[in-house]
Amino acid sequence: MELFITGGTGYIGQAVARKAISLGHQVTALVRQDRSSAAGALARLGVKLHAGDLREPQSFAAAAGAADGVVHAASTNDASAAAVDEAAAVAMLSHMHPGAAFVYTSGTWVYGNTEGGPATEASALNPTPLIAWRPAVEQQVLALAANRSIAAAILRPAMVHGYGGGVFGMLAGMARESGSVRIVGDGRNHWPAVHVDDLATAYLSAVEQAASGDVRVAGQIFNVVTEDAVAVADMGEAIRASVGADRVALWPLDEARQSLGPFADALALDQTISGQHARRVLAWEPHGPGLIADLSSQAHFQQSNGA
C-alpha cells in the first residue's frame, strides 16, 4: 500500500512512518527540509521524502492524491493552526481518488472536562479554547470525503507518551530548568493516555481497514486511549523522581495562562475517556508500557535529552 504522511518528522508522524515501513508499506512523508536530521532518519528507514510546506497545500496535495492512503498528522501548532489544517485537509481530499483512505488527527481535548463515566465517541463535545475549531474541521473532513467516496476516519488520541516526547518531555524539560515539576490547576485532575507506538498501530489499522472498504471504519471517529484516566499528580511525581527535581508544585491556572496562553487550559483538563470502540472495530491491542511506568523510567527522559 502506498501511504502519504504529513508531519512525518513530528512525534506522532515518525512513529506512524516506522510502523508503516515495518508492515511493508511504501511511505512518502511531507517534510519542510529534506536535509534535516529528522528527515534523514526517515530516509534511512526507507521513507521517500517529499519537500513541501503545510502552509502551501499546492506543494503536496497532488502527492497525497497519488497515494492509496493518507495520514494527516501535521500541525503548525500556532495561531494559524485552524486555517492551515482545514486548507491542507481540503486540498488533499480534493486530489484523492475514490476508494482511497484518509485518516485525520484530532484529539481528546475536544471533549473538554468530562463528567461521570468515561466519555465515548457519542459524548457531547466541549473543546478547550486551544482547539475549539477542531470539531468543525472533523465534520468537514467526513463530509467532503463521503461526497468523493473516500474512506475517512477521525482519530482522537489521548495524551501521547513514549521516548521522552510530547507534553511529558516538555514538562520534564521545565523541571530540569526550574527544579520543580509544575502542574497546572489544583492537581486533582486526570488525563487519558496512550503510548506513541500503540497510537501508531491504531493509525495503521485505521488506514488499512478504511482502504479495504471496511464499512465499520469509513466515516467513523475513534478515541485512541489505552488508560482512561491517570492522576496528573501521580504523573508529576513520576517525572520528579525520574529527572531528580526537588518537588511537584501546583501552578494556578490564571498564572499559567500568562506563560502558556490557552495551552494552560488544556493542561488543566480533567478527563476520563474510553478507547473501547477503537479496540473493537480496529482490532487494536495496545502493548506499550503504562504512563506512570514509562514516566518513571530514567531512560525515558534521557533519550529525549539526547543522552
The pLDDT value recorded for residue 92 is: 98
Q: Across residues 125-147, what is the average pLDDT?
A: 98
Residue with cell 531528580: 244
List the chain domain ranges.
Answer: 2-161+194-225+274-287
CA 94 – CA 269 distance, rounded (Å): 35
Is 111 a residue whose pLDDT tops 90? yes
pLDDT per position as a tens digit, 22-50 = 999 999 999 998 788 999 999 999 999 99
| Per-residue pLDDT band at 185 (split at 50, 70, 90) | confident
At position 22, the amino acid (one-letter code) is: S
C-alpha span between 279 and 56 (Å, rounded): 36
- Whole-prediction pTM value? 0.95
User: Tens of pLDDT along 74-108?
Assistant: 999 999 999 999 999 999 999 999 999 999 999 99
Q: What mean pLDDT do residues 196-218 have? A: 97
Is 2-161+194-225+274-287 in CATH node 3.30.830.10? no
Contact call for residues 153 and 233 (beta carbons, < 8 A):
no
